[in-house]
Structure 1
């Protein structure tokens, strides 16, 4: 087994083809590595590597789910944090594989995850903390919702779900595919992805992104954002983040740019998008590759927000953005 890795700030590394497979490392080495991680976010990512690594981490992570029928596994697709995960007041929120909310407080992992679904047969599409408060957008009815945390009679963390507005008050097109939300300069923004296919059975030809900012006066509205200025947005099914790009630059990262990870891994018999280039591949060329493609947004002849897409082929789960320490502050 070989490995490849890449950082959000540019650069890549490739493993040695004779290296021991990660899943075959001895448990004592994995335990030492796991216990050396002090941040909960790093421990969650450790457990997500493979079954063997999760088995080592499982005694230390909340594994039960209050509100989940017995016998159904708890699978998390996206995990976010309300504040620095080393603080005991930090709330961990996640989207499950059946589009529910899962949450727990870092200071009390023994209580396990609490699961909250939605009414009206709706499903979660994305979640984000903004100014310490948790928001979500739904997949079917297309609503903006807010999760208001409190303590129940058992002195356990609980949540009330409040619907804020429908998402029909922003300009959208018939090809709308997926929406992401994240915090940008202290405000909640929504990134809407539209794509065009070769045909209904093949891969993506082009992605177009539109950014909207939530404004609340006497009502909620979503005015369009035409320029990200000195920020770059990283979006994807496993996590999204706004990163400020300094005047001196930050690796290959560019201002006014959206970097996105495609919502699923391409199958080996899928046709890859037109114009993509190879970003990473395994050393033994066993079919595991990551492609990238740059697109330019042009509206009425005016250059807009640029985007670069990354497409993984041969994997099971979509890739995750990893930010070096110099990217941590936005």
Structure 2
């Protein structure tokens, strides 16, 4: 007993700068919890400065015990149970915001009485943090867009709809505007506020873009756009036909062409450097990862999930079963095929080989 007390005292007297260096290298959320549980002096280190950014978690189960969703922490493979309010259980997840915010819907958007249609939400994005009154929600519908301010449950603050002939592949807020991606075309919407404080979408204008860098073939029009800082990025599935190699991702940054007026181009990125890219139908995020971080998630990699990509089986070299998720389905993880001599960003896919599992989605939890 005396030896244990001496050892405990020795651990508690370690220099704080050394303890912070150790804490900053812990990628696992469970590891961080265990770190702060050692003793009071270690818990104090946690509060000395902002923690390293968290890595997105993957929501893999629509329900568990009727009151929770399960999430996978990819840095260490740990499974976490996330309790949910009963009203949310069984709903579809359609969007997210940093800090653990998730948007869920049963099936329809609550439109005003004058709008008789009840469209189905494909994806929802936030303009700013949902805790702010000026936060605007934008939703992709089957035939257009809908916008509203946070807290649209009263009669004076309703969803406003704008119809289109087709649905966007993806949308994102960036620099105060709403961007919509349809295959390789990029559209911009200005949003103005009515006297009642409701947002209204202006008619889309097409952004003037130079031609995309040549790809042998795009794969099934699987396209993503996302904001990182004040920049806009796009990720597209491409096909390498040499020796029937398979699919991979191309990543582009939207940049303005010098000495031109309102003319842009997609500049291809061959490396993500200290970042990793997380893609899913309802949540896409680029995350900075310090070189000191440890775990199964690597920099300069893309981590993605899609449901039932037809013809995409050959793009996975090998799959490792991670866990069993809802309805008896199994979640697998596999690295995309490596192409000799091809300058591509390596990607890792999380997938369910059979059935419809639409709730696979990344979640960016609070920093802790």
Fold similarity call, TM over 0.5: yes
- Do structure 1's residue 183 and structure 2's residue 227 form an aligned pair? yes
Aligned residues of 1:66 and 1:115 also touching (Cα < 8 A): no
Give the whole-Å Cα distance in 2 for the aligned partners of 1:186 and 1:287: 42
Give the equivalent residue in structure 1 for 2:279.
235
Give the whole-Å Cα distance in 2 for the aligned partners of 1:206 and 1:289: 24
In the TM superposition, what is the alpha-carbon distance from 1:31 to its structure 2 partner? 6.1
In the TM superposition, what is the alpha-carbon distance from 1:184 to its structure 2 partner? 2.9
Determine helix, strand or coil for the equivalent of 1:161: coil
Give the whole-Å Cα distance in 2 for the aligned partners of 1:326 and 1:253: 17
Structure with higher RCO (Cα < 8 A, 6+ apart): 2
In the TM superposition, what is the alpha-carbon distance from 1:282 to its structure 2 partner? 2.3
Give the equivalent residue in structure 2 for 1:19.
none
Determine helix, strand or coil for the equivalent of 1:325: coil
In the TM superposition, what is the alpha-carbon distance from 1:13 to its structure 2 partner? 2.0
Give the equivalent residue in structure 2 for 1:247.
291
In the TM superposition, what is the alpha-carbon distance from 1:107 to its structure 2 partner? 4.9
Give the equivalent residue in structure 2 for 1:12.
78
Give the equivalent residue in structure 2 for 1:305.
345
Give the equivalent residue in structure 1 for 2:269.
225
Once the two structures are superposed, the pairs formed by residues 264-275 of structure 1 within 5 Å of their partners are: 264-265=307-308, 272-273=313-314, 274-275=316-317
Bigger Rg over Cα? 2
Give the equivalent residue in structure 2 for 1:290.
331
The counterpart of 2:190, out of the listed 135, 148, 158, is 148
Once the two structures are superposed, the pairs formed by residues 95-174 of structure 1 within 5 Å of their partners are: 95-96=140-141, 98-110=142-154, 111-118=157-164, 121-139=165-183, 142-152=184-194, 155-165=197-207, 169-174=211-216
Aligned residues of 1:296 and 1:304 also touching (Cα < 8 A): no
Moved more, 167-176 or 242-251: 167-176
Unaligned runs of 5+ in 2: 1-62, 90-95
Aligned residues of 2:274 and 2:288 also touching (Cα < 8 A): yes
Determine helix, strand or coil for the equivalent of 2:362: coil
TM-score, normalisation: structure 2: 0.64
In the TM superposition, what is the alpha-carbon distance from 1:151 to its structure 2 partner? 1.9
Give the whole-Å Cα distance in 1 for the aligned partners of 2:76 and 2:212: 34
**CA RMSD of the aligned region, Å?**
3.8
Aligned residues of 1:280 and 1:289 also touching (Cα < 8 A): yes
Give the whole-Å Cα distance in 2 for the aligned partners of 1:311 and 1:32: 24
Aligned residues of 1:67 and 1:114 also touching (Cα < 8 A): no
In the TM superposition, what is the alpha-carbon distance from 1:224 to its structure 2 partner? 1.1
Give the whole-Å Cα distance in 1 for the aligned partners of 2:132 and 2:294: 28
Give the whole-Å Cα distance in 1 for the aligned partners of 2:78 and 2:197: 47
- Do structure 1's residue 30 and structure 2's residue 105 form an aligned pair? no
Unaligned runs of 5+ in 1: 16-21, 34-39, 55-61, 198-203
Give the equivalent residue in structure 1 for 2:132.
87
- Do structure 1's residue 321 and structure 2's residue 367 form an aligned pair? no
Aligned residues of 2:246 and 2:312 also touching (Cα < 8 A): no
Give the equivalent residue in structure 1 for 2:54.
none
Give the whole-Å Cα distance in 2 for the aligned partners of 1:32 and 1:304: 39
Give the equivalent residue in structure 2 for 1:201.
none
In the TM superposition, what is the alpha-carbon distance from 1:108 to its structure 2 partner? 4.4
In the TM superposition, what is the alpha-carbon distance from 1:89 to its structure 2 partner? 0.7
Q: How many residues align?
A: 281
CA pair 100-162 structure 1, distance change in 2 beyond 3 A: closer
TM-score, normalisation: structure 1: 0.71
Give the equivalent residue in structure 2 for 1:36.
none
In the TM superposition, what is the alpha-carbon distance from 1:175 to its structure 2 partner? 2.4
Give the whole-Å Cα distance in 1 for the aligned partners of 2:342 and 2:118: 49
CA pair 134-159 structure 1, distance change in 2 beyond 3 A: same
Aligned residues of 1:296 and 1:303 also touching (Cα < 8 A): no
Give the whole-Å Cα distance in 2 for the aligned partners of 1:315 and 1:122: 23
